[in-house]
Structure 1
Amino acid sequence: MKQKGIALALIAASLLARPALAQTEWLEKLDDSLFLQSSNGWFRADVSGLLDLEGYYIDQHPPGLVFSEHDFFFNPRLSLFLDARFGPHLYAFAQGRYDRGFDPGAMPDGDARADEYLLRYIPFDDARLNLQIGKFATVVGNWVPRHDSWKNPFINAPLPYENVVGITDHIVPANPKAFLARRNKPDQPANWVPVIWGPSYASGASVFGLVEKFEYGFEIKNVALSSRPYAWDAWTHDWDYPVFSGRIGYRPNAALNVGASFSHGAYMLPPEESILAGSHKGDFKQSTVGQDIRYSRGHWQIWAEGFVSRFEVPNVGNADTVTYYLETKYEITPQLFGALRWNQQFFGDVPNGGGGHEQWDRDMWRIETAVGYRFDRHVQAKLQ
C-alpha cells in the first residue's frame, strides 16, 4: 500500500512566549505582559500561544489521521499554554486548543478542549527525580518531545504515530476472515488505530529524571498507546486495566541520545458488550517495544525510531507489526531548512480460519520531504 499526497501549511507562532523566539516587536511587548508574578518571586505564571494555519491538498484517500474527505481543506489551530511555578519544587502546566479536531478534520465544525494538564513535584534541586500526575504526553520514543508544529520539521507525524492499521479498539471481528478482509479496504481512522496515536495525551502518573548520562521515565496511564483522543481524559475511561509504559535513555554527550521503550496494557475500549462472551476488555492487550536514536552534528539533525507491537485480537489471535522511520533535517541557512523522512511498516501472519496463516495487512512505505523558512523568531512556514 502506497500513499501519496501534498500538504501545505503556514505556521504562524503568534504568541509563543519562549526564550528562542524574540524578534517581532509587537509580539515581544505582548510577551512581556503575559505573566503574573508574586513580589518575592515565589510564584510565577506565564501564558503563551501558538497559531497554526494549515492548508491540505491530498490527491487520493486521506492518509494516516487526516479525517477530511475533501481534496483541499483548511485546518486552523490555536493552542494556549499556561506554565506556573510555585517555588522551586512545584510546577503546573496546561494546554488548551481550539481547532477542527485533535486530528485534521476530525471535528469539522470546531472543537475546544484541554489537551494537557499536569502537576509536577520536583523534590530535589536537580533533575534526578520528578513526580507527575495529570493528562500528558507519553514518555515513549523520541518524537513526542518535538511534536509541536514549531519543533517538528514536518506537518504530520512519522508513520508509527499516525498510520492506522486494521485493528479496532471497540469492534470485535466476527472471525479471522472478517479481520483479514480489512486489509483490502481504505484506511478508516474513525474505527482503526495506529501503533501510537500521536503524542498519546492519556491520563495518569509518571516518574522521570536525569542521573548523570542516563535518563528514565515510567508511567501508568488509563489507556494504551494506540487509544484514540476521546479516551485520554480520566473520566471517559475507567482504571480497571491500567497501562504501563517506560523509556530509558543514554546521552553520552549533547549530540547523541539513544533509548529503549516499552508499553503493555489493554487496548480495547467500551462498550463492554462488544467483547466476546466470557471475556472482558482486559483480556486483549497491546504490547510494544521500541528503540530510538537522535544525533546532531553541524547543520545536520538525525532521528530514528523503530517499534515492534503485538495486538491480541478477539476471535483471531496475535497480530504483530514492525514499523520504523528515519528522519533528517538540514539547516541550509539560519532561516531555511529542508527535511527528509523514510517510513516503513511490516505485518505478520495470523490464522486465516482455514488451517493456514496469512499476512493481516499490506506492507507499506512512505517517503516525505519538507522545506521550511523562519521569517523571524515568531513566524515560520512549511511546505510538505
Structure 2
Amino acid sequence: MPALAADASKQAAGTLKDGTQVTAVTLSAGNGVSATILTYGATLWKFMAPDRDGKVADITLGYDDLQSYQDKPNYWGATIGRYANRIGNATFTLDGKTYHLPGNDHGQSLHGGGKGFDVQNWTLESIKSGPEASAVFTLTSPDGDSGYPGTVKARVTYSLDEKGDLKIEFDASTDKPTIINMTNHAIFNMAGEGSVDGAMDNVLTVPASHYTPVSATLIPTGELRDVAGTPFDFRAGKALKLAVRDGKDQQIVYGRGVDHNFALDKGVTKTPELAAKLEDPASGRVLEVLTTEPGVQVYSGNFLDGTFIGKEGHLYRMGDGIALEPQLFPDAPNHPNFASARVDPGKPYKHVMIYRVSVDK
C-alpha cells in the first residue's frame, strides 16, 4: 500500500482561562510544508515552509502560548467573522432595519467587533489523512451575537495537499437575513517570522488596477481609485518598503502605511484565482494567495509597535509582517456599489481561499 500523501494529527494545546480545552491539529505534507491549526479562533498557528536550501521556517507571526492569544489578541492567523474588516460607524441597515455593532476601532466595528469568531473556541468536527490532510472546525453564532441578526452556523475546513497548497473553505448558513464576510488573518514574513530585517524586503504582487481609498478612520469612501501612479500599484511586483513610507500620498498617511483593500481585476469567481503573491528573494520562499472573493486587504503591519512579544521571544515591530486577507470589500453593507455581503436562509455563504507555498530556486 502506498504511503498517504499528507498526514493529520492532533494534540492538546492547553486550556483557556475558563478551563476549556484547546486542541491543535497539524497537517503535514511530504515536501516539508506543514500547518498547525488551533481550535481557539480556528487559528492558523504555525505555517512551516522550506527555503531553496531546504531550511524550514514558520512564515506566520503569532504567539507560542495560549495565554498571550487571550491577553493580547491581535488576530494572528485567526478565522475572522462575522464580518472581516471594518464597518463604518459600527452600523448597517438590512431590509429597513438598522443594526448596531460594537465600536471597537475608533467608533468603527473591526473584525466582528472584538468578540468575534477569532476569540471563540471552535469545535473540531473531524480530521483525516490522505491525498489531502484536512481538519473541519464548526461554530454556532447565536441570533444577536455582537449585534448581528440571525443564528449563523459556520464551518471552516483546512486541507493541505502534497504540493503545499493549504486550502481554507469558509461555509456559513443563517436562519434570517444577515451579513457575512469571513477570511483568515495570517500575517506573513516569507523570510521567516522574527527575521532581523522584518518583512519590508518581501516583494508583493497584486493583480488589481483599482483600490478602495479610505477616510481618516480607514473606512472606504466608496470610490474605486486607479492604482496607476500611486504607491498602491503592485501589478508588476515591488518590495513593500517602496510603498509604505510615501508620505506624499494621503492614503499612506491615513493607514500609517498600506492598510487598504484592493479591488481584484478578476472580481468574484467560482474557483479561487490569484489575489496576491509574496516573495522573499533572499530565501526563495514564495506565497500565492488565491480566492473566490473580489477583494484582498493588504496590511503592512503598521500597528505592530514593539509591545507584541511573539514566537520564540521575538519582539514584533512595524513592518515585521504583511497580512493578505481575501474578502468582500470593507464596509460593503453601507456601499450599494460594492459586492453584497447579504446572506439569506437557504442560500449559504461560501468563500474558498488557498495559501500556496513554493520555492523559487
* TM superposition score normalised by structure 2: 0.34
Structure number, greater radius of gyration: 1
* TM superposition score normalised by structure 1: 0.33
More RCO (CA 8 Å, sep 6+): 2
